Amino acid sequence: MTRRAVFAILLAALFVQSACLPVPVLIPPTKLDGGVSLGGPADPEPVTFPLRAGVHVMHLLDAEQARRFDAAPGWSFFPNVEGGFVHGPYVEGGLLWAQEGGVRWGSNLKQHYLLGAPSVDRQFMTSLQGTVEWASWANGEDASDSDCSGEGCAILLALGEAGVGAFVEASVAYGAGAPQFWVSTGVLVRTPLVFGVLLAPLF
């Protein structure tokens, strides 16, 4: 009997014993940032709550823990207090300056393409962001809930960079209409690659 067959039998036995259904889990390495934005004095736009999620494969480069560069694609969401909503893809590129104790400073430039606006006056937005964050690394660490019972559990591994921090940002939206200026502040979170199996109870 091959090792694969033995592993499959043992895994099936675990699922049967725990009375759980295996659900694959794969969470890509991600950077999230969210906060609040205010328009300039000449821009009477409502308060907006930007939220962005980017897939940062460079989180997986363990040999580049002290890397100076960061780049990723992502998607942005811009709801406001009056019920308006625009969204769209963006690309990001930036520099990082690592300090002692896992703290690092950063600066990045984002280029957005905006969708969903009631008009097409401003289809593009450029953002310059400054960051400070604390970062660490998970090198295949166990992120599981080890209590596999009838209530279910998770068998997960985490690999890559994790972090938390804050940002300040200046943005300009432009297109056919007059430029619109924004200032923003908020928090950012980096997550590692997480993969494994979630054991969901059958009954």
Task: Residue 67: give its domain's CATH number.
Answer: 2.40.160.20
Instruction: Write down the pTM of the prediction.
Output: 0.78
- Integer angstrom CA distances of residue 74 from 23, 63, 87, 147, 158: 26, 24, 11, 35, 21
Q: Give the total number of structural domains in the chain.
A: 1
Is residue 80 assigned to a domain? yes
Residue 80 sits in which domain range?
A: 25-197
Q: Name the stretches of the chain with pLDDT < 50.
A: none
CA 17 and chain centroid, separation:
36
E strands along the chain, which residues? 20-27, 30-39, 51-55, 69-79, 85-98, 103-113, 122-142, 153-175, 180-191, 193-201
Is residue 15 assigned to a domain? no
Is residue 142 assigned to a domain? yes
Read off the pLDDT of residues 60-119 as tens digits, 9 standing for 90 and up.
Answer: 876 555 678 899 999 999 998 888 888 999 999 999 988 766 789 999 999 999 887 665
- What sign for the dihedral angle of Cα 97, 98, 99, 104? positive
